[in-house]
Chains A and B, each alone.
Chain A
Amino acid sequence: MKTSRNNLFEPQHVKAALLQAFIKLHPKVMIKNPVMFTVEIGTLVMAYVTIYSITHKGEGSPVYNFAVFIVLLLTLLFANFAEAIAEARGKAQADSLRKTREETPAKALNAEGHIELRSSGMLKKGDLFLCEAGDTIPCDGEIIKGIATIDESAITGESAPVIRESGGDKSSVTGGTKVLSDQITVQVSTAPGESFLDRMIALVEGTSRQKTPNEIALTILLSSFTIVFIIVCLTLKPFADYANTPVTIAALISLFVCLIPTTIGGLLSAIGIAGMDRALRANVITKSGKAVETAGDIDVLLLDKTGTITIGNRKATHFYATEQVTEDRFIDAAVLSSLADETPEGKSIVELAASIQSGKVWQAPEGAVFIQFTAETRSSGMDTPEGRSIRKGAFDSIRKKVQRAGNTFPVDVENHVKNISSNGGTPLVVVENLEVLGVIELQDIIKPGISERFERLRKMGVKTVMVTGDNPLTAKFIAEKAGVDDFIAEAKPEDKMNYIKAEQALGKLVAMMGDGTNDAPALAQADVGVAMNSGTQAAKEAGNMVDLDNDPTKLIEIVEIGKQLLITRGTLTTFSIANDIAKYFAIVPALFIASIPGLQKLNIMNLHSPESAILAAVIFNAIIIPILIPLALKGVVYKPIGASALLRRNLLIYGLGGIIAPFIGIKLIDLLVGLFV
């Protein structure tokens, strides 16, 4: 579903948004946005004044009043359009997701275990259904029986099929994905229409979007500014009467609309929706807008080592044979011990051997017995009929067995073991009939570019913590190499939880990613818990976001989206307020110049006439909204350069820029308007 960064203004979106802009004029909708609601009232008053001025004198010419009315109406429409286009884009994004979950027939299993065909919309939580090769999975669920390869490209865009099986951490399937082989029995985990995806779709479409705490606080502040300007404009009437200056209603309303923060007021909800949309484009499903915002605040980020910091699993990188045996014999034994080993480590040993021995293929001898790895023996291997008993395993457990059998553990092997450990690798000792042959070095491969990402996080003020089951020595080595700030070694599930709690007790916000059921408590405890889409249902329920790509470094993007959301609001607020200075210099002299000619000196922009000055100010006020829509949708760029430097930068651009831009804009519009007035 990965969409390319599409055009901001797709024609079909614009068309839908234009219609919505008018529909949203309904006062019931408008009142949710107090700032723009006051503009709507002003517009209605202007409509009345326009009609009134046709038959009465003293309120200016009807044409002029009508012009003001039109500009105010445009201001409203522009603001509505901003929200509508954000919604339209979100909706399009959501529709492409929804396509994946069109009505599909489900092979539901009834109480007797018989298959009956049912529409996916009829499935309820807890129902069972069957999926065979070629079937599209009708809704989200958990495999309770069987194993299957599944094509998840509809959701993740990743074409390689993945394996999902009952039990364990890879048991969850997503509606819309396709079973490629085998047969699975799935239990419905969320009824259609209530899944994360459905929730996200509702969020992006704006239907169930609730204001986030920061958004509420900002709305309060903007409302109070609006009230201040209501007071300023209402009291201006008696002030003007005192000064014997008639002030027209058109002028007062124009002044009011120019002063109140319409720019940010008009764009506020568009910014919020666009933020959710960006999260969705990053293939992250969030349960609430608040979660995205919180992501921008996090201080600590917990990351699993495997798959996040390092590529997949450890790989064999070296064979070190003891001096007593030939390398060939050692490699031969190492391979035999790993032939039946399905773990990635085991496979990598065979691969490495094959590359050293230029493509040699090993066959297990007839009648050989494979010994599986157990936590007790901490070794695995193979017993051949001719009496060879080959084992590979952890250094200390093998050494114990070797010494118990009365054999000596060769010093050179022991040295290799030490070297490997101190280089962050994992040594696997290979023995045949309890005689040491050598040691295999397994190494973690750190993902390219990962340390740059950690550096970026550090500059944002986020501390990264690596979680690994490795011993502290190995963990430390990898942590240093990858550039993480801290690590939890030999981590048990409860260690993650404790670490999160300890950081939270210090007042920090913690984010983590997880997929397993045993991650669920920690995901719930974390302030931002991101579950992998491939993870278990429990993990997905516990977290507040789901990453469809199963990409553990996705958190970095989420943090940036969260920050961008706040920055966009903050900078546009600053811009909006800073604009007022120029508007004052346009309108206030215009209001009083007739009776107090001295105030001409305040007309520093040298505007054409009082009427053109006021029109220029309201026109600027209106068109700045559509001009800023692209910025609101794309978000203000976040640069991790430290808070003070970022503040300086944004203050210069949006604060100082906000003061200067309208002086230029209003002057230009005035020159244009002056041609007609």
Chain B
Amino acid sequence: MNTEILGVIAVYLLTLVIAIPLGKYLAEVFAGEKVWTDFLKPVEAGIFKLSGINPKVEMTWKEHMKALLTINLVWLVYGFFVLMHQDKLPMNPDGNPGMSPDLAFNTIISFVVNCNLQHYSGETGVSYLTQHFVLMFLQFVSCATGIAAAVVLFRAFRDKTTQNLGNFWDYFLKSITRLLLPLSLLMALILAFNGTPTSYEGQDQFISLQGDTVNVSRGPAAPFIAIKHLGTNGGGWFGANSAHPLENPNYLSNSVELIAQVIIPIAMVIAFGYYIRRRKLGWMIFGMMTLGMLLLLIPMIASETAGSATIESMGISQATGAMEGKEVRFGPAISAYWSTVTTIISTGSVNNMHDSSMPLSGAWQLLGMMINAFYGGCGVGVLNYFVYLIIAVFISGLMVGRTPEFLGHKVESREVKIAAIITLLSPFLILAGTALATYVYTNHGTADWAVQPSNWLNNPDFHGFSELLYEVTSSNANNGSGFEGLADNNIFWNVLTGFVLLLGRFLPIIGPVAIAGILGAKKFIPESAGTLRTDTLTFSLMTFAVIIVLNALSYFPALVLGPLAEYFTY
């Protein structure tokens, strides 16, 4: 086996070595059990005292969601104004301008929702102040929001019957103090020692071999890049994201960033099993998510390392695989792995350009984001999987002749209704959003806009369709990666994706938490021989089948017209 593949395997195994104990640790932290980081308690107590919060107050699921939405709204308003007026605020050594309202609207939403779509470029679009106190701040808190929401769901199934699901602020703060801050600190140090800038000075200059004067943006990038991955945010300090040599200098930093973005999503799944004292269920969910990842990863590595037949026919050797859009220091295999994890979990950072991926890889990247539950984003991955699971519970419950139940709680029409709406939401946002874009592109290409719709696409044809589809899909999944090749910084895209981002974030959080809250409050039914256990291989495969079939049915025509048409035609 070649070393490139070995590199992928090693990185994944290392991820597990860290993620599994981390999952057990998280279960203990959120259960309030004794852990070694308890020395931070006084700090937390101080923060709570300062904010006038009593972290012991138990909340129902509705109170949790009220707290979550309120604080997110505060961040949204705060960030919107700071981004618009960053040019008048300090810490702007490069003199970057304030954002236009539509770009600020899009940017702030995209960071609040843990997406980081970035219709701007870090070098020229933001100041150090906004990078630090708006964007990086949001990278921490948006991730903590997702984790806290997931813990609310966990809590609903820990006890037999309960309405009290713990305290939102407690979960939220602990996610930061016990998890994100320490890990980010460690990772930022590793990156800094590998050459990622950590300085408050403005642009540097050098004269290239050709004699051109080159301005190089710098800044305190290392901590930003750390939380960008740990928190599955994905927004780069620099425009080129982790393909940029300062953002991701070498194979080691590449591995660290790869590991960092996957550990919390996996740890949350393991934590679920430990927290509700049904470890087998946690492992089963983890197994299905891993299966899904492998089914996307293996063909992607295969197609990227094989290279393009069209280029081959031009007589160009592709001994190293499809290298267009990839960094020589990484190569196609680990880049394909990166593309897989960054799309299945909602990071959306890139170390290679997805626009240049092989057509089938593009399809798998899209599918990964459409499913959005193979590991998934911090906390929200479990929430998304849970919705699929409820649908699977309902259908299989009927198939064994019993009113469906999950962990001892009957799943009835109210829960099915919520799950159905959430399942419906993604196809609606993705397909309707793409349809709107294609409609404008086809019928109003010459509209008198700042950027004419007919100039949106670098590549018309099937690939152009994929670019449109990718942008909306990425927004809905709160992923943030782009197929690029799309002129996205204009009112149409800023506003469209802004709304898709908002709806694609909060409804899929509220839905599963509501289902869990309602189920948790229901009477607990002990298991009998007639009960369908949810931690068996059969049921897990049923859930897997539900995930695949639902997504395939929703997106097959769109995928056919984009990447598949490209694949079959060229």
Please report A residues at the B interface, Cβ cutoff 8 Å: 213-214, 216-218, 220-221, 223-224, 227-229, 231-232, 234-243, 259, 293, 296-297, 299, 458-463, 506-509, 562-567, 569-571, 573-574, 577-578, 580-581, 584, 588, 591-592, 596-602, 638, 642-644, 646-648, 650-651, 654-655
20 pairs from A and B in contact (CB 8 Å cutoff): A221-B395, A221-B416, A228-B553, A231-B427, A232-B553, A232-B554, A232-B557, A234-B435, A236-B557, A238-B439, A239-B435, A239-B561, A296-B401, A460-B529, A461-B529, A461-B530, A508-B528, A570-B395, A599-B568, A646-B401
Assembled-state Cα–Cα distance A571/B561 (Å): 32
Assembled-state Cα–Cα distance A562/B400 (Å): 11
B516-570 contacts to A, CB under 8 A, are: 523-526, 528-533, 536, 538-539, 542, 545, 549, 552-554, 556-558, 560-561, 564-565, 567-569
Known: A242-B438, A644-B536, A644-B538. A592 touches B565 (CB 8 A): yes
| B interface residues, how many (CB within 8 angstroms) | 64
Query: Please, which residues of chain A bring their CB within 8 A of the CB of B238?
Result: none
Known: A460-B530, A651-B542. A578 touches B565 (CB 8 A): no
A651 with B403: CB separation less than 8 A: no
A293 with B403: CB separation less than 8 A: yes
A235 with B432: CB separation less than 8 A: yes
Other 16 A-B pairs with CB < 8 A, given A217-B416, A234-B435, A459-B529: A221-B394, A243-B462, A296-B402, A296-B403, A460-B530, A462-B530, A507-B524, A567-B398, A570-B396, A570-B399, A577-B553, A581-B552, A644-B533, A646-B401, A647-B396, A650-B400
A224 with B424: CB separation less than 8 A: yes
Assembled-state Cα–Cα distance A146/B402 (Å): 46
Query: Please, which residues of chain A bring their CB within 8 A of the CB of B465?
Result: 239, 242-243
Query: Please, which residues of chain A bring their CB within 8 A of the CB of B526?
Result: 299, 506-508
Query: Please, which residues of chain B bring their CB within 8 A of the CB of A463?
Result: 528
B399 with A642: CB separation less than 8 A: no
In the assembled complex, how far is the CB of residue B538 from the closest CB belonging to chain A, in whole angstroms?
5
Assembled-state Cα–Cα distance A646/B398 (Å): 11
Query: Please, which residues of chain B bring their CB within 8 A of the CB of A232?
Result: 427, 431, 553-554, 557
Which one of A224, A569, A598 lies within 8 Å of B421 (CB-CB)? A224
Query: Please, which residues of chain B bring their CB within 8 A of the CB of A655?
Result: 545
A217 with B412: CB separation less than 8 A: yes
A643 with B529: CB separation less than 8 A: yes
Against A, the Cβ 8 Å flags (1 = close, 0 = not) of B429-457 are 00110111011011100000000000000
Who on chain B is nearest to A294 by CB?
B403
Which one of B435, B528, B568 lies within 8 Å of A299 (CB-CB)? B528
B557 with A648: CB separation less than 8 A: no
B424 with A243: CB separation less than 8 A: no
Query: Please, which residues of chain A bring their CB within 8 A of the CB of B556?
Result: 584, 588
B400 with A238: CB separation less than 8 A: no
Assembled-state Cα–Cα distance A228/B391 (Å): 15
Query: Please, which residues of chain B bring their CB within 8 A of the CB of A213?
Result: 403, 412-413
In the assembled complex, how far is the CB of residue A182 from the closest CB belonging to chain B, in whole angstroms?
47
Assembled-state Cα–Cα distance A636/B526 (Å): 27
Query: Please, which residues of chain B bring their CB within 8 A of the CB of A259?
Result: 553
Query: Please, which residues of chain B bring their CB within 8 A of the CB of A601?
Result: 568
Who on chain A is nearest to B439 by CB?
A238
B384-433 contacts to A, CB under 8 A, are: 391, 394-403, 408, 411-413, 416-417, 420-421, 423-424, 427-428, 431-432
Query: Please, which residues of chain B bring their CB within 8 A of the CB of A651?
Result: 396, 399, 538, 542, 545
Who on chain B is nearest to A259 by CB?
B553
Assembled-state Cα–Cα distance A233/B436 (Å): 14
Which one of B395, B529, B557 lies within 8 Å of A573 (CB-CB)? B395
Which one of B399, B412, B538, B549 lies within 8 Å of A567 (CB-CB)? B399
Assembled-state Cα–Cα distance A564/B529 (Å): 17
Assembled-state Cα–Cα distance A648/B395 (Å): 13
Which one of A235, A508, A567, A588 lies within 8 Å of B431 (CB-CB)? A235
In the assembled complex, how far is the CB of residue B145 from the closest CB belonging to chain A, in whole angstroms?
27
A588 with B549: CB separation less than 8 A: no
Assembled-state Cα–Cα distance A488/B524 (Å): 25
Which one of A234, A458, A570, A591 lies within 8 Å of B397 (CB-CB)? A570
Query: Please, which residues of chain B bring their CB within 8 A of the CB of A570?
Result: 395-401
Who on chain B is nearest to A573 by CB?
B395
A581 with B549: CB separation less than 8 A: yes
Known: A460-B529, A643-B532. A648 touches B538 (CB 8 A): yes
Known: A646-B400, A651-B542. A241 touches B439 (CB 8 A): yes
Who on chain B is nearest to A297 by CB?
B403
B408 with A228: CB separation less than 8 A: no
B399 with A220: CB separation less than 8 A: no
Assembled-state Cα–Cα distance A87/B247 (Å): 70
Residue among A229, A296, A570 with max Cβ neighbours from chain B (10 Å): A570
In the assembled complex, how far is the CB of residue B107 from the closest CB belonging to chain A, in whole angstroms?
27
Residue among B428, B552, B553, B554 with max Cβ neighbours from chain A (10 Å): B553
Query: Please, which residues of chain B bring their CB within 8 A of the CB of A218?
Result: 394, 398, 416
A569 with B403: CB separation less than 8 A: no
Query: Please, which residues of chain B bring their CB within 8 A of the CB of A458?
Result: 529
B399 with A228: CB separation less than 8 A: no
Assembled-state Cα–Cα distance A391/B211 (Å): 128
In the assembled complex, how far is the CB of residue A248 from the closest CB belonging to chain B, in whole angstroms?
15
Assembled-state Cα–Cα distance A559/B186 (Å): 60
Assembled-state Cα–Cα distance A509/B408 (Å): 13
Assembled-state Cα–Cα distance A243/B438 (Å): 9
Residue among A237, A296, A507, A646 with max Cβ neighbours from chain B (10 Å): A507
A596 with B398: CB separation less than 8 A: no
Which one of A235, A460, A650 lies within 8 Å of B399 (CB-CB)? A650
Who on chain B is nearest to A570 by CB?
B398
In the assembled complex, how far is the CB of residue A560 from the closest CB belonging to chain B, in whole angstroms?
8
In the assembled complex, how far is the CB of residue A579 from the closest CB belonging to chain B, in whole angstroms?
11
Query: Please, which residues of chain A bring their CB within 8 A of the CB of B436?
Result: 238
Which one of A242, A299, A646 lies within 8 Å of B442 (CB-CB)? A242
Query: Please, which residues of chain B bring their CB within 8 A of the CB of A577?
Result: 549, 553
B420 with A238: CB separation less than 8 A: no
B553 with A580: CB separation less than 8 A: yes
Assembled-state Cα–Cα distance A570/B393 (Å): 11
Who on chain A is nearest to B522 by CB?
A507
Known: A235-B434, A458-B529, A566-B398. A228 touches B568 (CB 8 A): no
Query: Please, which residues of chain A bring their CB within 8 A of the CB of B417?
Result: 217, 220
A647 with B462: CB separation less than 8 A: no
Assembled-state Cα–Cα distance A650/B397 (Å): 11
Assembled-state Cα–Cα distance A650/B539 (Å): 12
Who on chain A is nearest to B402 by CB?
A297
In the assembled complex, how far is the CB of residue A310 from the closest CB belonging to chain B, in whole angstroms?
26
B539 with A644: CB separation less than 8 A: yes
Who on chain B is nearest to A646 by CB?
B400
Assembled-state Cα–Cα distance A626/B432 (Å): 35
A602 with B560: CB separation less than 8 A: yes
B401 with A566: CB separation less than 8 A: yes
Assembled-state Cα–Cα distance A591/B557 (Å): 10
A243 with B432: CB separation less than 8 A: no
Query: Please, which residues of chain B bring their CB within 8 A of the CB of A573?
Result: 395, 398
B401 with A647: CB separation less than 8 A: no
Assembled-state Cα–Cα distance A584/B524 (Å): 41
A566 with B395: CB separation less than 8 A: no
A598 with B568: CB separation less than 8 A: yes
Which one of A214, A224, A638, A644 lies within 8 Å of B420 (CB-CB)? A224
Known: A223-B420, A459-B529, A571-B399. A599 touches B536 (CB 8 A): no
Who on chain A is nearest to B528 by CB?
A461
Which one of B396, B432, B529, B557 lies within 8 Å of A642 (CB-CB)? B529
B554 with A228: CB separation less than 8 A: yes
In the assembled complex, how far is the CB of residue B58 from the closest CB belonging to chain A, in whole angstroms?
22
Assembled-state Cα–Cα distance A224/B569 (Å): 34
Which one of B421, B549, B561 lies within 8 Å of A243 (CB-CB)? B561
In the assembled complex, how far is the CB of residue A117 from the closest CB belonging to chain B, in whole angstroms?
51
Which one of B397, B401, B403, B435 lies within 8 Å of A638 (CB-CB)? B401
Which one of A235, A237, A238, A602 lies within 8 Å of B564 (CB-CB)? A602
In the assembled complex, how far is the CB of residue A562 from the closest CB belonging to chain B, in whole angstroms?
7
